[in-house]
């Protein structure tokens, strides 16, 4: 029966050991194992190993190597179980070995989907750019179940959601200063909805925001938009030009009386 003749520490990995064996033709390198596997099977010089022993040792060493691979992946940031599984599958690790490695990661407390979800929500809450609807979808994509997701979202209180929606809306008001008040309100609500805020949170945020512009500001915004539209319509006759200008500016949210006044002044 094959016998272990020598065990040496690897030069680049102090936690891995080279096993040399005699299969009947003298000493030769056989395989390497992790320190945990070495201790688990109490491998030592003179020990005899049959094919079943070697297969079992190799299986458990593959698990340890997979755990090490996963720990390296986890060292950059917290990850969900699903993320770790996907990563290991991409590395072409066999499914039974992945399952055993995942089990060990839970034992060592390196995996905890609820803790991951809570940290994920806190991080994005502090960033202030995403609402809970988007976060719920992203956590679902990362493999968390509904109970874990709802528990994690408790980290994002409703009053902070409203405050973040308000801040994003105020930034958009500054950015869209040449947009009509009506259209700006629509744009803000649509933008906040796309960012994952609920209708209720958006409505509450909008209550504290002043969108209505002084007439001078609205007139300035109308003038800017009218100049842009005019460049596209100046090929039309006076009647068609006025009609199409009214339609275009009305779609941009300007009041019809303000549009009429602008067109009258422009024609004069």
What integer pLDDT is reported at residue 64 of this predicted model? Answer: 92
Sequence-distant contacts of 61-65: CB under 8 A, at least 24 apart: 61/31, 61/32, 61/33, 61/34, 61/37, 62/93, 62/94, 62/97, 63/97, 63/100, 63/101, 63/104, 64/33, 64/34, 64/36, 64/37, 65/34
pLDDT digits (tens, 9 = 90+) for 114-126: 999 999 999 999 9
Asked whether residue 27 is assigned to any structural domain, the reply reads: no
Instruction: Tell me the average pLDDT across 128-142.
Output: 95
Domain annotation covers residue 77: no
Shared domain for 199 and 228, answered yes or no, is no
Three-state DSSP class for residue 6:
strand
In a domain, 146, yes or no: yes
On whether both 234 and 258 belong to a single domain, the answer is yes
CATH number at residue 199: 1.10.10
Mean pLDDT (whole number) for 153-179: 90
217 or 104, which is more confident: 104
Strand partners, 28: 21
- Strongest mean pLDDT among 96-100, 248-252, 253-257: 96-100
Residue 141 lies in a domain: yes
| Structural domain contains residue 193 | yes
Number of domains in the chain: 3
Q: Is residue 235 part of a domain?
A: yes
Q: Is 236 left (phi over 0), alpha (psi -120 to 50) or beta?
A: beta
User: pLDDT > 90: what percent of the chain?
Assistant: 60
Domain of residue 262 covers 216-267
Position 81 pLDDT exceeds 90: yes
pLDDT in tens, 4-18: 999 999 988 888 999
pLDDT given for residue 254 in this prediction: 79
Judged on CB neighbours under 10 Å (0-12, 13-18, 19+), 113 is: buried
**Any domain includes 194:** yes
Share of the chain above pLDDT 70, in %: 96
pLDDT band at 80 (very low <50, low <70, confident <90, very high): very high
> Which position has the higher pLDDT, 51 or 210?
51
* Residue range 144-164: mean pLDDT, rounded: 96
Together in a domain, 148 and 163:
no
Characterize 29-39 residue by residue with b for buried, 16 or more Cβ atoms within 10 angstroms of its Cβ, and e for exposed.
ebebbbeebbe
Show Cβ contacts of residue 106 under 8 Å, excluding neighbours closer than 6 positions.
112
Residue whose pair of structure tokens reads 């194992």 in the numeric block:
33
pLDDT at 215 over 60: no
Looking at the structure, do residues 255 and 220 belong to the same domain, yes or no?
yes
Averaged pLDDT, 88-110: 95
**Domain check: are 141 and 170 in the same one?**
no
Which has the minimum average pLDDT: 151-155, 160-164, 210-214, 223-227?
Answer: 210-214
DSSP classification of residue 75? T
Looking at residues 244-256, what average pLDDT do you find? 79
Distance, CA of 196 to CA of 164 (rounded, Å): 11
**Same domain, residue pair 263 and 223:** yes
- For 77-105, the DSSP string reads S---HHHHHHHHHHTT--HHHHHHHHHHH
Q: What is the mean pLDDT of residues 49-73?
A: 93
Confidence of residue 184 (pLDDT cuts 50, 70, 90): confident
């Amino acid at each position: 029966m094959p016998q272990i003749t020598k065990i040496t520490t690897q030069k680049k990995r102090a936690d891995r050991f080279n096993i040399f064996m005699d299969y009947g033709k003298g000493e030769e390198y056989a395989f390497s194992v992790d320190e945990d596997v070495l201790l688990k099977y109490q491998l030592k010089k003179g020990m005899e190993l049959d094919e079943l022993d070697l297969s079992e040792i190799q299986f458990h060493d593959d698990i340890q190597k997979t755990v090490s691979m996963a720990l390296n992946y986890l060292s950059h940031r917290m990850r969900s179980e699903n993320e770790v599984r996907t990563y290991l599958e991409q590395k072409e690790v066999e499914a039974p070995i992945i399952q055993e490695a995942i089990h060990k990661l839970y034992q060592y407390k390196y995996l905890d989907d609820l803790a991951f979800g809570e940290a994920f929500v806190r991080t994005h809450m502090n960033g202030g750019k995403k609402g809970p609807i988007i976060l719920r979808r992203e956590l679902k994509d990362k493999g968390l179940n509904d109970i874990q997701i709802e528990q994690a979202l408790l980290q994002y209180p409703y009053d902070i959601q409203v405050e973040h929606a308000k801040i994003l809306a105020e930034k958009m008001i500054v950015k869209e200063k040449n947009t009509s008040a009506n259209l700006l309100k629509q744009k803000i609500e649509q933008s906040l909805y796309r960012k994952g805020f609920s209708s209720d949170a958006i409505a509450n945020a909008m209550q504290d925001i002043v969108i209505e512009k002084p007439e001078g500001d609205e007139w300035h915004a109308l003038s800017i938009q009218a100049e842009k539209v005019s460049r596209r319509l100046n090929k039309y006759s006076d009647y068609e030009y006025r009609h199409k200008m009214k339609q275009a500016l009305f779609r941009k949210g300007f009041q019809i009386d303000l549009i009429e006044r602008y067109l009258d002044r422009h024609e004069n």
